[in-house]
């Protein structure tokens, strides 16, 4: 067993126009002052990274690393680009806000742009020496996730074949550059639980670069066993967002939330330690299955401020990281035994 790396912080929820959140130099200095050892950079944030230039220039990538005040760049997160790889027409207008103004109202051009951004992000990851790239799968079928009206026979199977076809060029480039794509298992995406991940994996022909970003908060909100998930899919978990959540159903609302705001839903995200995720067991199980990459704080609490959540997050994650035992507790009582001794203990007559 190896030790999980951390603490690290995902910068997407913190980047802004004012110091210390306005550029990579300032924001990493802030993160370093809180005790973080790594930063996950959102690849779509131009204040932090030029993903096209990073895909072409190792010198630029070396300069990026030099701006990080000794912090490691853990991954380039490509959730926004990945989301736009596969968009059901029902969401065209809503997701147009994620792309360039010149591409809005042009879904085919937007999709091609997203694929190229994903490919550039793979190359940038390789130039930075990174082996994992978190992302979203996008969603062709999410508007149909509840089977009413009844789905036509074959729709789901065709949906995953189509999703696989959209992703194959990206996955093949990722394989060429030795970068795993870690899909965040997330409501709103076609890959939102274990079964949907398996269906996509099968549709891609068990592509070696199809892997998982594990975030237990999204399983709390689905009432899914987030600990057993690690037992089942541990060998595919390549990235880890440390985010807490709570689920308190009432007589008025449950998993679907009744269109309530985040603060008023039965299920909502919380700062670390304020929700229901058993992180001691999460870190234990991840350590047991051999996960040895980064534990990255993702702050999305609906009550605490981001600044307070970030300040509390580093020591919380550090307290959860396990230094794996190098020996059994009773090794002191062991003795050197040969085959003859073993046979005598068992009463075996040679």
pLDDT of 331 reads: 64
pLDDT of 326 reads: 73
Q: Pairing state of beta strands 244-247 and 267-270?
A: antiparallel
Which residues are bridge partners to 244 per DSSP?
A: 270
pLDDT of 170 reads: 98
Mean pLDDT of 70-91: 98
Confidence band (pLDDT; 50, 70, 90) for 69? Answer: very high
Convert the pLDDT of each residue in 177-207 to its tens digit: 999 999 999 999 999 999 999 999 999 999 9
Which of the 8 DSSP states describes residue 74? E
* pLDDT of 18 above 90: yes
* pLDDT of 350 above 70: no
> How far, in whole angstroms, is CA 168 from its chain's centroid?
20
Which residue in 289, 315, 271, 144 sits closest to 214, CA to CA? 289
pLDDT of 332 reads: 61
Kindly tell me the burial class for residue 159, based on how many C-beta atoms sit within 10 Å of its own C-beta (0-12, 13-18, 19 or more). Answer: buried
- Percent of the chain residues topping a pLDDT of 90: 92
Q: Pairing state of beta strands 244-247 and 294-297?
A: unpaired
Convert the pLDDT of each residue in 141-163 to its tens digit: 999 999 999 999 999 999 999 99
Mean pLDDT of 83-94: 97
Domains of the chain: 5-346 (3.20.20.150)
Conformational region of residue 309, where left means phi above 0, alpha means psi within -120 to 50, and beta covers everything else: alpha
* pLDDT of 343 above 90: no
Confidence band (pLDDT; 50, 70, 90) for 344? Answer: confident
Give the Cα-Cα-Cα angle 66, 71, 75 (nearest 5 degrees). 95
Question: 221 near 260, Cβ under 8 Å?
Answer: no
Question: 35 near 67, Cβ under 8 Å?
Answer: no
Which residue in 304, 43, 132, 17 sits closest to 27, CA to CA? 17
pLDDT of 112 reads: 98
Question: 40 near 5, Cβ under 8 Å?
Answer: no
Count the neighbouring beta carbons within 10 Å of the beta carbon of residue 328: 9
Question: 1 near 290, Cβ under 8 Å?
Answer: yes
The predicted model scores a pTM of 0.94
pLDDT of 346 reads: 87
Number of alpha carbons in the 13 Å side-chain half-sphere of residue 232 = 13
> How far, in whole angstroms, is CA 20 from its chain's centroid?
25
Q: 3-state secondary structure string, 212-255? A: EEECHHHHHCCCCCHHHHHHHHHHHEEEEEECEEEECCCCCCCC
Say if residue 7 is preceded by a cis peptide, omega within 30 of 0. yes
Helix or strand or coil: residue 184?
A: strand
* pLDDT of 327 above 90: no
Mean pLDDT of 216-231: 98
Residues 342 and 150: their CA atoms lie apart, in Å, by 65
Dihedrals phi, psi of 12, to nearest 5 degrees: -60, -40
pLDDT of 280 reads: 98
Which residue in 80, 54, 56 sits closest to 67, CA to CA? 54
């Amino acid at each position: 067993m190896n030790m999980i790396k951390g603490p690290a912080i995902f910068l997407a929820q913190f980047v802004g126009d004012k110091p210390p959140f306005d550029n990579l130099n300032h924001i990493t200095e802030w993160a370093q002052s809180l005790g973080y050892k790594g930063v996950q950079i959102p690849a779509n944030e131009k204040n932090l990274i030029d993903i096209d230039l990073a895909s072409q220039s190792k010198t630029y990538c070396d300069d990026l690393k030099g701006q990080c005040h000794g912090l490691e760049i853990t991954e380039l997160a490509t959730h926004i680009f990945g989301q736009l790889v596969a968009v059901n027409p029902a969401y065209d207008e809503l997701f147009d806000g994620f792309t360039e103004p010149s591409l809005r109202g042009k879904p085919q051009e937007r999709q091609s742009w997203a694929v190229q951004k994903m490919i550039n992000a793979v190359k940038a990851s390789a130039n930075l020496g990174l082996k994992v790239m978190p992302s979203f799968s996008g969603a062709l079928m999410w508007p149909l996730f509840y089977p009413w009206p009844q789905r036509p026979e074959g729709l789901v199977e065709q949906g995953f074949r189509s999703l696989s076809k959209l992703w194959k060029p990206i996955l093949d480039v990722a394989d060429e550059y030795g970068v795993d794509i870690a899909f965040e298992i997330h409501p709103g995406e076609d890959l939102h639980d274990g079964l949907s991940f398996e269906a996509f994996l099968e549709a891609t022909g068990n592509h070696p670069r199809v892997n998982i970003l594990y975030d237990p908060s999204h399983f709390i909100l689905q009432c899914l066993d987030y600990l057993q998930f690690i037992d089942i899919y541990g060998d595919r978990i390549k990235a880890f967002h440390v985010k807490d959540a709570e689920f308190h159903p009432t007589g008025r609302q449950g998993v679907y939330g009744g269109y309530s705001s985040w603060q008023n839903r039965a299920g909502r995200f919380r700062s670390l330690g304020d929700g229901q995720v058993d992180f001691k067991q999460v870190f234990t199980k991840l350590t047991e299955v051999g996960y040895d990459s980064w534990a990255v704080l993702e702050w999305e609490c609906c009550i605490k401020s981001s600044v307070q959540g970030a300040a509390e997050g580093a020591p919380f994650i550090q307290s959860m990281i396990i230094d794996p035992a190098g020996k059994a507790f009773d090794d002191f009582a062991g003795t050197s035994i040969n085959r003859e001794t073993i046979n005598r203990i068992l009463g075996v007559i040679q």
